[in-house]
Every structure is written in C-alpha cells, then in structure tokens.
Amino acid sequence: MLDPTQLPVTHPTGQYAVLVGADLLPNLAQHAGIHGPIALITDSNVGPLHAARCGDVACLVTIPAGEQYKTLATVQTIYDELLTAGIDRQATVVALGGGVVGDVAGFVAATYMRGVDFVQCPTSLLAMVDASVGGKTGVDLPQGKNLVGAFKQPTAVLADITTLQTLPPVEFAAGMAEVVKHGLINNPDLFEKLEIGDWRLSNQSPIANLQSLVATAIAVKRDVVQEDPFEQGRRATLNLGHTFGHAVEQVSGYRVRHGEGVAMGLVAAANLSARLGYCDAALQSRVEAVLQAQNLPIRIPAEFEPKAIYQAMFSDKKKAAGRLRFILLRDVGDVFVTGDVAETAVRSTLTAVQSA
C-alpha cells in the first residue's frame, strides 16, 4: 500500500501534520496522536458510512446533513450531547464529514469548556483541499455565511481518500472547484494539468493519482495560511471566486452547492478581471473549459437576479469599510485583492455570466 503523504503545517501556536492517504480512519487515534477519549461529530450522511471505521469513541454525535444546519442551534445540541456523555477537557473532538461538519465541530472544539483538542477527518474532496486546513471554523446566520466563528487549529488532519469512493459524483465535482481555484491562485502547473486532464492519466494507480492531486491542492492552501494565519493579508486570496459564489449560494437558499457557487464565482472573477483590464479576456475561456471538464456550472442560473446577488454580496464578511473586496486575476498564479471596483462593472459582470 502507498505510504501516506505528510504535509507539516506551522501556525503561531505550534504545528500539526496533514496526512493524505488510504485507509487512515481505522488507525485514527494512532495517526492523530490521540490519547484521551474521542468525541466524534459527524452527520447523517457520513456517519452510517464511516463512523464505525474510526475505532472506539466515547461519544458519537450525529447532526443532520446540509448547510442549513450549520447554525448556533446545532452547536447548542452538540454541547448538550457532550455534557450528557460526560465529555471533559481531556477529550478530543474529531470532525468526520465535509466542510459543514468540520466548521461546526471546530467551533464546538474552540468553545466547549473554553477549548478542547480538535482533529479534522474530512470525507469530501472540498473539505480535504480547503476547509480542513487553516483553522477557520464557524456557523452561518440568516444574514450570511460564517458570520460567527473562531480560529481553532487542529492537532492533526487525516485526509482518508478511501472515503472519496462513497462521495456522489456531483459532490466530487464540487470539490474540484476548489482544486481549480488553488491552481489559479498559486500553482500554474496544477492548473495546466487540469487543463489537459493528465492528473488522471499517469502510470500510477487511481488511488495514487488521487492522493497526489489532493496533497498538491492542500499544499497550496498550506503555504498561504502559513504566511498569513489570521487573514490579515495574502490569505484573502483564497477567497478567489467566493464573493460572487457565496452570494449565489445565499440567494439560492443554499440549493447551490458551495463548490458550484465557487465555480460560477471563478468565471465571474475572470470576467471582471478582464473587464477592468487586469487580464487577457482569453483567461475566462480557459477557466470555463477546466470547470466544464469537471462537470461544474459556468453560468449563474437565470432565476437569480443580478440585483439580488449584488445585494447579497454586502452580507459577506470579506467587505472592508463598507466596500466589497474582490480577488482578481492578472494571470494563472497571479491574483490580488482590491476594494476599488465600480458597482457598474460588477453588475455588468453578473449580467454577462448569467444563463440566457
């Protein structure tokens, strides 16, 4: 069996390792260095598939699956179950699931008894390459996504790629949106491999290919968050496509998956960048081709009016001094943050990237 890929991550208060490999969950405690009791938090989709593979746990909490349950009410129910089970500060909270579970469980770990150890076991591609690394946790409010949260660094991240075999194709595609985003931000070689599709076609096994893809995408995020752990500068570039994407998600009532929103947002970011003269107009076509190859949407559905999407952008916590901040592209691997974008340009882009 292929050895796991280990990616060390340093942060202001220490370091942890991200392990990427197959069949990591059966040795969860050993791989993650857990010595006390485990409080495993999962959801109604992932729990039946993978919770039993995680060995002995002191407390298993299963929350309903879906972004609509990423709320303070869900956090309260988890606190109640942990207290009923007698979970104390010697325990480790383990998140087993996608990005919603990771965000909610991380927020619980940051706040329960003023903080307990936390381990991420992401089971979706999106969570592996994005949400599980960097220490950001949080829940949504009716006014917008991730408006309440905390920084909580994990003590370990185990990306067991075996779990991806049970992931519905539409969810795998959603995760590929973040992989594409990471290539655009800081890895032109990754983006070019996605353009020609050769990450699937090497002489390695499918599992080895997948392990390499996941580890490469994680490394992009790792490098950025190490440089800017508290989102004071460069880390904001990881939100490429998200100002548009989050607004589309919100207007859709979260029927649009996060990765689908990001895909639409990446196209919009490329369109806006070209509209403002920062990049060649051909870049939008390249981005669209890569996303289409991953079965991702490249147009905002016509049912979501540009006016409503623009208004939804203002509930985004990424705005500064009341102004929207956009991550724009000069080229693949060359992105920057700006708050100097005219409303007319944004509205023109929203109209241009909408389905007919």
pLDDT digits (tens, 9 = 90+) for 67-81: 889 999 999 999 999
Task: Give the model's pLDDT for residue 198.
Answer: 66
Task: Give the model's pLDDT for residue 13.
Answer: 86
Task: Give the model's pLDDT for residue 67.
Answer: 86
Average pLDDT taken over every residue of the chain: 93
Task: Give the model's pLDDT for residue 140.
Answer: 92
Q: 142-157, pLDDT tens digit by residue? A: 888 889 999 999 999 9
CA distance 346 to 338: 13
Q: 216-273, pLDDT tens digit by residue? A: 999 999 999 888 877 778 889 999 999 999 999 999 988 999 999 999 999 999 999 9
Q: Identify the weakest region by mean pLDDT among 171-180, 293-302, 307-316.
A: 307-316
What token pair was written down for 136?
């950001």
Task: Give the model's pLDDT for residue 318.
Answer: 61
- Is residue 202's pLDDT more than 60? no
Range 305-337 burial, b when 16+ CB lie within 10 A, else e: ebeebbebbebbebeeeeebbbbbbeebbebeb
Task: Give the model's pLDDT for residue 319.
Answer: 64
CA distance 326 to 324: 6
Please write down the HEC assignment for all residues of 75-140.
HHHHHHHHHHCCCCCCCEEEEEECHHHHHHHHHHHHHHHHCCEEEEEECCHHHHHHHCCCCEEEEE
Please answer whether residues 9 and 226 qualify as being in contact, where contact means their C-beta atoms are separated by less than 8 angstroms.
yes
Task: Give the model's pLDDT for residue 75.
Answer: 98
Specify burial of residue 350 (Cβ count, 10 A radius: 0-12, 13-18, 19+). buried
Task: Give the model's pLDDT for residue 201.
Answer: 43
Region 111-130: mean pLDDT is 96
Task: Give the model's pLDDT for residue 317.
Answer: 61
Give Cβ neighbours of residue 6 (< 8 Å, ≥ 6 apart): 17, 18, 19, 20
Q: What is the DSSP letter of 300?
A: B
- Backbone angles phi and psi of 136, in degrees to 5: -85, 130
Higher-scoring residue by pLDDT: 12, 230: 12
- Is residue 213's pLDDT more than 70? yes
What token pair was written down for 208?
């080895």
Whole-model pTM? 0.90
% of residues, the chain, pLDDT over 70: 96
Q: What is the DSSP letter of 167?
A: S
- Is residue 321's pLDDT more than 80? no
Catalytic residue numbers? Answer: 114, 136, 178, 221, 231, 235, 239, 242, 246, 258
Task: Give the model's pLDDT for residue 320.
Answer: 61
Q: 270-309, pLDDT tens digit by residue? A: 999 999 999 999 999 999 999 999 999 999 999 999 999 9
Task: Give the model's pLDDT for residue 134.
Answer: 83
> How many Cβ atoms are within 10 Å of 8's Cβ, its own excluded?
10
Region 28-54: mean pLDDT is 97
Region 175-179: mean pLDDT is 96
Region 194-198: mean pLDDT is 83
